[in-house]
Structure 1
Amino acid sequence: MRRAVAALEPVTDRFVLVSTGNVYADHSRPGADETVPLLPPLAGDVMTDMDVYGQAKVACEAAVRDGFGDRALVARAGLIGGPGDWSGRSGWWPWRFAHPVGADGAVLTPDDPDLPMSLVDVRDLAAWLVRCAALGTSGVFDAVGEPDTLGGLLSASREVVGHDGPVVAAPADWLAEHGVQEWMGPDSLPLWISDPQWRGFGGHTGAAARAAGLACRPVRETLRDAAAYEEHREPSEPRRCGLSDETERRLLALLGH
């Protein structure tokens, strides 16, 4: 990033950096904004592993803002979803509701409907970034979706695929006891965060970005198109999040489904 800034600053009008909400030092408070203190910047020049991802992004932001000043826009993206979401986080829930494995059509969910969680469509984010570059918008923005909850996203996921089977909600302690992971990765329930130190990660308001023109389509459209992407992924492509059919059947059976 430092090399890019040094090379581009003399010949480029603007710099738009897609950063991340991981730059913040505190993720415990829902309803936060861009004033939350940042992590210390990465001390070296190379991000050695994902444990220092946030610090690396802080260093990248500093390089861009030092080089371009008020000619820079820093977009701290939250959860991005929609068609092409290789992580599966935005597509797994509607896909699972479309393909339930419980004998009665049941789907296992975390019992945490009020967890703050928003989803920004990749197409809306991209369009806004291009528009900001054209208009000369500068500053730092939390580029996140409209404020929502995990329960709201799960309900929308059910609606877009027409799921009418049981929703079996399990408490966090029970899920952890049975090896269910949070957020993403193998044998996870995507988008769920029980760690109190991270409860606010998906709850930034995004008010400044909306005031600067970020317009989000209805989340149902994002989830519908993410589900369509999931349906057409290559069979050989591994899913990067969600419970396996076998694991979910076993857990549902333990809960009487």
Structure 2
Amino acid sequence: MRLSRRGLIQGAAALGSLWAAGCASTSSGGASAQSAPVAKRKILILGGTGFLGPALVEAALPRGHTLTLFNRGKTHPGLFPNVEQLHGDRDGDLKALEGRKWDAVIDTSGYVPRIVKASAELLAPNVEQYVFVSSISVYKDGSQYGVDENSPVATVEDEKTEDVSQYYGALKALSEKAVQAAMPGRATVVRPGLIVGQGDSTDRFSYWPVRVARGGEVLAPGDGEDPIQFIDVRDLAAFIIGLVERRTVGTFNALGPAQTLTMRELLEACKAASGGDATFTWVEWSWLVEQQKVMPWTNMPVWLPRQGEDKGMCKISNARALAQGLTFRPTVDTARDTLAWFKTLPPERQQKLHAGVTPEREREVLAAWHARQGGPKAANP
């Protein structure tokens, strides 16, 4: 059965939290750059109060950087009262940015090329570096392992379209080009994979630590050996701030971990993080999809089967970013901290996960699987 990467990757990105090309160049190497004194920068963040934005602020302030946030003032308006905040709208109201100078801008909220072009061209005369947060969804072909920054990107016939839900990856790729055209030799493009952790309203990762903490028999997809990739929002933020400190330009896939992580290892990390009694029943991927309509990535977040046409999207090369200092905290720490954050949400929010399967649907699928196997069996630990 063929799985649509556009539906699984681009659709999930666009409908969730809406999550940049060329050879890397830098004034210093990754290892030596990490030990160099921190250069204090004046940084403008386009966004700054949603998910990645707060993590960037929390990574930059302790390192002595001066920050300005530009947004509409609608998301978490009371956040960071001691940080300068400028209000406007990226789509037509950039007046607050006119005539101001910063060392770098970090664009966390660009999805439409026309809008990204407007901010990049306005800021180009007064900014040394433009960091554009793009996505691995830009890649045209996710069927092979080892996709890297030089791999072909998605295109769209009508480049004036602004239908982000349908052309998310292609529009991100065009937005990258807009930044690079406005600031040649001064653009940094960061292509994250699934961004996870505290503050993620999509639950595309949170589902697993929350579900495992609930205990009992857990529906687990595949055989546990499928590779997965994601990045803790705090690790992504630290990497981006490091690129700004060193004025590193180029394009970087930002996802991990450094070595292959399997779905089984993720669920075991979630179990260790919660200290619960969950057991995992691994269910054949094709049966899940074809017989039960339990789909990778949406119903079973994070996971893509290694037999599917999108298998490469969970084993993308991060070698270039690793060489520039990208590091990853242990998966168990991400799971533990995500679970702790989730428990601070209002009770009604905790009762309604935005991803995964409902408890009722999970029980139905497990019952059908056991019946297919000839009756109930002990769950695999």
Calculate the TM-score normalised by the size of structure 2: 0.62
| Distance in 2, Cα, partners of 1:228 & 1:51 | 34
Equivalent residue in structure 2 for 1:205, among 317, 328, 334: 317
Which residue pairs with 2:272 in the alignment? 159
Which segment is superposed worse, 44-53 or 81-90?
A: 44-53
Q: Structure 1 residue 144: deviation in Å?
A: 0.7
Relative distance call for 1:134 and 1:165 in structure 2 (3 A) is closer
What percentage of aligned pairs have identical amino acids? 33
State whether residues 41 and 58 of structure 1, in contact with CA within 8 Å, keep that contact through their aligned partners in structure 2.
no
State whether residues 156 and 167 of structure 2, in contact with CA within 8 Å, keep that contact through their aligned partners in structure 1.
no
Matching of residue 96 in structure 1 with residue 211 in structure 2 = yes
Q: Structure 1 residue 206: deviation in Å?
A: 0.8
| Distance in 2, Cα, partners of 1:37 & 1:112 | 31
Which segment is superposed worse, 130-139 or 15-24?
A: 130-139
**Larger RCO (CA within 8 A; separation ≥ 6):** 1
Which segment is superposed worse, 11-20 or 211-220?
A: 211-220
Matching of residue 28 in structure 1 with residue 143 in structure 2 = yes
| Distance in 1, Cα, partners of 2:160 & 2:131 | 21
Unaligned stretches of 5+ residues in structure 2: 1-115, 371-375
Equivalent residue in structure 2 for 1:4, among 104, 115, 119: 119
State whether residues 271 and 278 of structure 2, in contact with CA within 8 Å, keep that contact through their aligned partners in structure 1.
no
Q: Structure 1 residue 223: deviation in Å?
A: 1.3
- SS class of match (2:210): helix
- SS class of match (2:309): helix
Q: Structure 1 residue 137: deviation in Å?
A: 0.5
Q: Structure 1 residue 190: deviation in Å?
A: 1.1
State whether residues 41 and 59 of structure 1, in contact with CA within 8 Å, keep that contact through their aligned partners in structure 2.
no
- SS class of match (1:123): helix
- SS class of match (1:240): coil
Q: Structure 1 residue 165: deviation in Å?
A: 3.7
Matching of residue 168 in structure 1 with residue 277 in structure 2 = no
Equivalent residue in structure 1 for 2:158, among 34, 40, 43: 43
| Distance in 1, Cα, partners of 2:332 & 2:360 | 28
| Distance in 2, Cα, partners of 1:145 & 1:210 | 9
Amino acid in structure 1 at the alignment position of 2:172: K
| Distance in 1, Cα, partners of 2:157 & 2:264 | 36
Equivalent residue in structure 1 for 2:354, among 234, 240, 247: 240
Q: Which has the larger radius of gyration?
A: 2
Matching of residue 253 in structure 1 with residue 367 in structure 2 = yes
Q: Structure 1 residue 53: deviation in Å?
A: 0.2
Aligned runs of 1:33-112 on 2, under 5 Å?
33-40=148-155, 43-100=158-215, 105-112=216-223
State whether residues 92 and 227 of structure 1, in contact with CA within 8 Å, keep that contact through their aligned partners in structure 2.
no
